[in-house]
Amino acid sequence: MTNENIIHRCTSRAPLRVSAVSLFSGCGGSDLALEQCGFRVRWANDISPLACATYRDNFENSAIKEGDIRDFRRFPNAQLLVGCYPCQGYSQGGKRTSNVPINYLYREFDRALRWIYPRAFIVENVSGMTHRENEHLLRNQLRRFRLAGYHVVWKVLDAKDYGVPQTRRRIFLVGIRSDLGLTYIFPEPSHGPDRLKPHVTQRDAIGRLPLWPEGKYCNEPLHWYYLSRNRRHDWDEPAPCIVGHWRNVPLHPVSPSLRKVDRDWWMFSSKSPARRLSYEECARLQGFPASWRWKRGRLRDRFQLIGNAVPPPLFKAVLKAMPPIWN
């Protein structure tokens, strides 16, 4: 399927009459959901040249601008503003600290919010933002957005409950302009036990892909840190969270199961071959279509682009729950 077919399929269900601005857009996970829901992305931005190049590979007539958001002083008008500012300081993986400059990029989102003054906004970030050491940063964001004139609500959602074949907890902040007199209500889970649909599994998402796609996964040794936790889920389960570091992505279910030996120590149950997920498998488990183009950068760069992206089906579920405020 060609790129043109992708765009037509994404946008044919609704007229592109509702404008949006996308900040910290990455390779386009949130913006794919916007296109699928009938929004027109007037302007997008990311600091990564590889992310912008991948974005352009997959969006016809893309409006993404490469550069540091702090260098842009003006923004176009739009009815919706979305942003997924970087989350390294909030992340639950690796070293964490709340007092680093990257944690304050929400101020740039707030600056754009006040300039554009859209009818609504959506922010996505890691659930670590809710942890005690980061509570003051979350409160600061809520305070700023409310002072900007928005009724803001937030909630942690798990992607697997909305049709994404992985366990991935993320916080969403949604604001509706106060003068509209409406409150956003988060969507109920659509997948899982006692829901209309079961969780989407790894078998559903990647079961037909080659089992040993040489050159598409990290084949470095599985060191002690990697085996400090259970990074393997079975075929008929959603995958563990897809991360941006190619060495730390989950094990493919073709690998032997892991058994816990001690705290932070897991071992394989047999000597059968084991491997990490490929970048194409990670993309499918994030909810990207099979036709999405990943041709930029080194192998490790593609893992980073994919792991840092917003799962399109999850963002789409949040978008579809927006009340009718666009007229």
Question: Catalytic amino acids?
Answer: 87
Tell me the C-alpha to C-alpha distance, in Å, between residue 41 and each of 21, 54, 80, 82, 179.
Answer: 6, 16, 9, 10, 24
Q: Could you tell me if 297 and 244 are in contact, meaning their C-beta atoms sit under 8 angstroms apart?
A: no
| Main-chain dihedrals φ then ψ at residue 116, nearest 5 degrees | -80, -40
Q: What angle do CA 209, 214, 215 make, to 5 degrees?
A: 115
Q: What is the DSSP letter of 247?
A: T
Say if residues 220 and 247 touch (Cβ distance below 8 Å): yes
Is residue 111 within 8 Å of residue 318, measured between CB atoms?
Answer: no
Give the contacts of 225 (CB within 8 A, at least 6 positions apart).
none
Question: CB-based burial of residue 24 (10 Å sphere; 0-12 exposed, 13-18 middle, 19+ buried)?
Answer: buried
Helix (H, G, I), strand (E, B) or coil at 109: helix
Q: Which amino acid is at 263?
A: R
Query: How far is CA 92 from each of CA 98, 108, 127, 130, 152, rounded to the nearest angstrom?
Result: 12, 23, 8, 11, 25
- Closest Cα to residue 252, out of 280, 227, 289, 281? 281
